[in-house]
Structure 1
Amino acid sequence: MIARTDLRGRRLDAATLRQVLPRAGFDVEAAVDVVRPICEQVRHGGAQALRDLGERFDGVRPTQLRVPAPALQAALDELDPAVRAALEESIERARRVHRDQRRVDVVTQVVPGGRVTERWVPVGRVGLYAPGGLAVLASSVVMNAVPAQEAGVPSIALASPPQRDNPERFAGLPHPTVLAACALLGIDEVYAVGGAQAVAMFAYGAKETGPDGGPDGEVLCEPVDLVTGPGNIYVVAAKRLLKGVIGIDSEAGPTEIAVLADDTADPAHVAADLISQAEHDPLAASVLVTPDAALADAVEAELEQQVAATKHTERVREALGGSQSGIVLVDDVQAGLAVCDAYAAEHLEIQTRDAADVAARVRNAGAVFVGAFAPVSLGDYCAGSNHVLPTGGCARHSSGLSVQSFLRGIHVVEYDRAALAEVADHVVALANAEDLPGHGDAVRVRLRDA
């Protein structure tokens, strides 16, 4: 069911590891060509284009692109009490963690009369995306909205695909659980728009059809400054295409889990965790890194039993059997750490002796889950951490979503005449060295009567 790569006795340099480790194929650039005309259709066609594209891609023509307030309240009122309690707990724990991420302004007195202040200012308006395909991720509403709210973003909108298989009162709207999560979070600007067209709507804004038939009527959605949230390859491609028009959080690909485990790990735990991510998507990556061949054998045996019993058997089997998944045998835990750092997993579990010490040596991962009782699924919902994380090796240089994602640092420079005069010769020298004499003149003109 799952392939093996044996790296025992081999030199584990970074270049080799990047070539031999399992990785999902995810051709965003090819998808950009697909979404380009979709984004242009939204740019020029506004709300009418959004309805047409909803009918084309989601199989339902939304009659109300903006979800009415009564529908949000109805979704919350009809939500299963156990799910509501779980969402409330998820929100509360996420708030605890993200509230501690808030930044404070810092004032540095460089010299007497000269200081620089770094001010932290939230983005003015953000568009959040909640997927609604193979899995309806109401938890992603929490993970995107909470850090934005804790950062102090004043305007938050959310888009999620319209559903055609809901009860009649929710037909053509996003999934009721997504709507209920929005209601719990106080997000009242919600759109029944999915895919690349949602990103384009956020980037360009959208108007209703005007009297002359053009998209010059009432404003449906104002443009945003930043778009965050996971989605399929077409959502990712739209983010890449429109980056610069909008800011984006990341180009997130299929979900990934890597488990670094030794002979102390429970093979049933490891197998269950590999399955938990494989059920997301046939392209999901599940990787076990271990120095223990006996554990690898035991995990394979567990996978045979557990995959047969899980709900999404075919999807899981396809993901585990794909080139993006595998068992990697290494000489020891230290070699396993080198493999995991080269792989830079979205989610990395450490199930070894002295797991906390091993975890402290990890350099590259979106999030690290330590020990037998911190599975990735805990982080997906109720650990308090954020589950919007870098994929495809991007954890080598990028972080997951946080309050910082919604803030901008602005330097405020204040110098009086004496402080400027003190450093003027240095500014002029550097300006001349770069053949930019006007830079020096901008200082001299202020001091010429001194």
Structure 2
Amino acid sequence: MSKPDNKPPAANPAIRLVGLGETGVKLVETLAMIAPEGVVAHSLDTDNRSLSRCHQSKTFLLGQAIPCGLGTGGDSALARAAVESDSDDLAGIVEDADLVFIVAGMGGGTGTGAAPFLANLAKRAGALVVGVAATPFDCEGIQRCNQATGGLRDLKQVADAVFHFPNQDVIQLGDSDLGLNQALEIANRHLCEAVLGVSRMLLESGMLNVSFADLQALVRDRHSLGAVVHVEATGADRTDEAVNKMLSHPAVRGGETLKEANSLLVHISGTEVTMAEMNAITTAICDRAPAAKLVVGASANGSGESIQLTVVMAHTGRLAESGEEGAPPKPAPAGQESGSGFSDPFNAPGADSYLDLGSESSGTGRSGFAYTPPAPTADALTPECRDDLIREAAREEPNRAKRRKIVQEMLPLEIVSKGRFENSEPTIHQGEDLDQPTYIRRGAILN
């Protein structure tokens, strides 16, 4: 009689924090210092300099044979090649993980090009994949913003959900004299607080626990942009202060994001949280999201008299199902964000078609960006997609036939006398004059 396996199941979900590129490495290194026990942090980059500054997270140099540790210079295609060359090692990083946070800054090379590939590896390993993406300020230029928009879209197509943190939203919180260091510090703090809030919510036991299954039900296979808000308040009016901080957060946009969300996960943490405080917070949220599915958790963990509020907002998946067209994006007024939480809305075409990837947007609300998606890999082509490509090539074939035939032109060179060979007989062999250059005798065209 065989003995039963006495190995107990894991008490908590296995969480991985993976930072990609310079921005992702900096953020994950910060998170590794303050993350709860049980969270494993990895820093991945093609630039060896950024990895040399890491002391808390596990480091891995991407593409040792391609960029050779010198970075990609903003080339996302080179980053993609580098990460593909290390796919076996990266698969080991996400192996046996229940939840993988992929933290990356969009707009550069490594984060933009490597994040979708790593998200796909984590999905194949069976993990719940959540992208955490920071996008650049508008002042960083159209090309960088354009590349960030494309990278965000590629990541959204693979990850279960993407929490988007536009750096541009930080300007709404400060005045025009806000310093660059201060703006970046605020943007990074919002992102780190959100990731930590979700991690603690899943790992720390409480009075009303939020399980990993609750998060899975909220974001699994939605392939959409979501938002996470984490705020803290103290004092006698800490409940009202927490609600006001949540509503003033750029990701909430005064309550519009709550109204658009169809699922909400609310977690309240603090010492001696009363029922009146819980009712006040949940009522304020439900008033702004009456139709959303609500999951509430609470714990007594906290410091001093503070109360911490974490809200995860999930939208309906925006990737069109097979044979279904996505809803056209609503143009946002100038200077305002779209419903997805960033200023450049787009809809992905059907997963079976690569022909319309660059034509689903008319440019309205895209700030003049013209994103050109990467070519599909051979294993991603379905039979229907292959037939579409063949038909497209057949339509272009007549245009090739209409091209003007190239004719070899002769240079107007002066005829030089043959000297003593002037009166000699031509060398004829099988009807060809061997005294003429070969390319003239054979009618070859020179470039």
> Is TM-score (shorter-chain normalized) higher than 0.5?
no
* TM-score normalised by the chain length of structure 2: 0.28
* TM-score normalised by the chain length of structure 1: 0.28
Query: Which structure is larger by alpha-carbon Rg, 1 or 2?
Result: 2
Task: Report 1 or 2 for greater relative contact order, CA contacts < 8 Å, sequence distance ≥ 6.
Answer: 1
